[in-house]
């Protein structure tokens, strides 16, 4: 067993506190806890000066959640962490802890939709300046830096475009400006990428995805220095209230035990399917960092140990072809999310997801269309046997379907409707 494999099963668990059971920790459902006697332990607990302090109230900390926090910290080689109710709760807690009116954020122009909309639509309402740039282009990152830049936020791989961002170089730019670098590493997981080892100050995961791995529990986590994590716990977990349910913590702990093995399967199958799709006559372009055709292939090899279970591709035939694929697959499911045992597909029409967004300028819209074409299909490759998945994609890609023709005819009406809003 590698250290990661061992930590994914054992880290954070104290058998003596688990009645010697060789299993997951008990689900601690208590809301309030008996406090220590008056003295330093009580003050540590009430003031949250110590991440190992006695539990006071489950919104602050919880025994089951703490095991999860310690386990993920061990996997990421991180000093400390705070687990929260969802990936978006993690992102919100990060930005609202460390950014105030007058501060400046640089972020991926395309990343998880909830994140980019929080940055572009809501943060400016609170007086926080935001620059959305293509963070895979380091010149854009550097040019966006201002004297008041406090945080650079990146994803790598980028959702859903599958671009790769140079984490070490972005860290150097951030630190030279007196800012910090946050990396959403959800697609990669700690198995494939270790952002702290190459300069990141914060790492974020939507634990809903690969860390859980079963599609049945929401959760998010932020990792960083002990001082920064205590600040997030005091200022945002307590005040915004995005506490992780101990039931969900238990389910995510269960998923972590198989993380290494699952990621090996996800990666192997995704690599095969990417090659299959690249050679398919109905596919225009495939974006998978393991393919030599990917523009960031060399960078991905330098900062990832394997290329992940996510890929994206453009279809010949645009929206009509996407409708056919979505409705004619039998093993894949047309659904959002990722990291499930089941293989999933989801289509992002460029007009709806990029060109209709008021926060993109024309140069950005043109650049995004160059990459995504008329739309991009994102695929989360599951744990089914890869030959079955390839056959499923092949039969669906080759099908003819009346909704495909209807979709292409009606789509201009949808676009006109969007343009008038």
Residues 6+ apart with CB under 8 A from 235: 96, 97
Rounded percentage of the chain residues whose pLDDT exceeds 70: 92
Whole-structure pTM value: 0.92
Q: Which fold has domain 259-419?
A: 3.90.1150
The answer as to CATH 3.40.50.300 being correct for domain 3-30+62-256 is no
Least confident span in 16-20, 101-105, 215-219, 361-365: 16-20
Query: Contact 167/199 with Cβ under 8 angstroms?
Result: yes
Query: Contact 358/327 with Cβ under 8 angstroms?
Result: no
Rounded mean pLDDT of 177-186? 98
pLDDT at residue number 212: 98
pLDDT, one tens digit per residue, over 273-303 is: 999 999 999 999 999 999 999 999 999 999 9
pLDDT, one tens digit per residue, over 323-380 is: 999 999 999 999 999 999 999 999 999 988 898 899 999 999 999 999 999 999 999 9
In the chain, where are the structural domains located? 3-30+62-256, 259-419
């Amino acid at each position: 067993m590698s250290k990661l494999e061992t930590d994914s099963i054992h880290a954070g668990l104290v058998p003596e506190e688990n009645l010697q059971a060789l299993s997951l920790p008990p689900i601690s459902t208590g809301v309030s806890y008996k406090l220590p006697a008056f003295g330093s332990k009580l003050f540590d607990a009430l003031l949250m000066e110590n991440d190992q302090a006695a539990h006071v109230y489950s919104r602050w900390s919880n025994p089951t959640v703490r095991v999860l926090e310690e386990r993920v910290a061990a996997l990421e080689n991180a000093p400390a962490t705070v687990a929260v109710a969802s990936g978006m709760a993690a992102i919100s807690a990060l930005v609202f802890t460390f950014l105030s009116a007058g501060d400046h954020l640089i972020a991926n122009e395309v990343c998880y939709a909830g994140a980019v909309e929080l940055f572009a639509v809501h943060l400016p309402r609170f007086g926080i300046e935001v620059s959305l740039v293509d963070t895979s282009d380091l010149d854009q990152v550097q040019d966006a830096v201002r004297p008041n830049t406090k945080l650079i936020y990146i994803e790598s791989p980028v959702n859903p475009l599958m671009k790769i961002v140079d984490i070490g170089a972005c860290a150097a730019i951030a630190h030279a400006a007196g800012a910090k670098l946050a990396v959403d590493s959800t697609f990669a997981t700690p198995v494939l990428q270790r952002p702290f080892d190459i300069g990141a100050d914060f790492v974020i995961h939507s634990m809903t995805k690969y860390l859980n791995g079963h599609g049945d529990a929401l959760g998010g986590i932020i990792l960083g220095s002990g001082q920064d994590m205590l600040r997030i716990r005091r200022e945002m977990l307590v005040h915004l209230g995005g506490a992780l349910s101990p039931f969900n913590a238990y389910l995510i702990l269960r998923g972590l035990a198989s993380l290494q093995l699952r990621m090996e399967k996800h990666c192997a199958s995704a690599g095969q399917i990417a090659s299959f799709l690249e050679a398919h006559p109905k596919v225009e372009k495939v974006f998978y960092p393991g393919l030599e055709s990917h523009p960031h292939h060399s960078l991905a090899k330098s900062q990832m140990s394997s290329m992940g279970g996510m890929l994206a591709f453009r279809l010949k035939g645009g929206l009509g072809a996407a409708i056919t694929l979505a409705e004619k697959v039998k093993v894949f499911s047309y659904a959002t999310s990722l990291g499930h045992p089941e293989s999933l597909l989801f289509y992002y029409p460029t007009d709806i997801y990029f060109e209709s967004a008021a926060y993109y300028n024309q140069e950005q819209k043109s650049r995004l269309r160059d990459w995504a074409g008329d739309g991009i299909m994102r695929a989360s490759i599951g744990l089914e046997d890869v030959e079955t998945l390839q056959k499923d994609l092949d039969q669906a890609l080759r099908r003819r379907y009346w909704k495909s023709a209807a979709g292409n005819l009606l789509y201009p009406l949808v676009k006109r409707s969007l343009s008038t809003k």
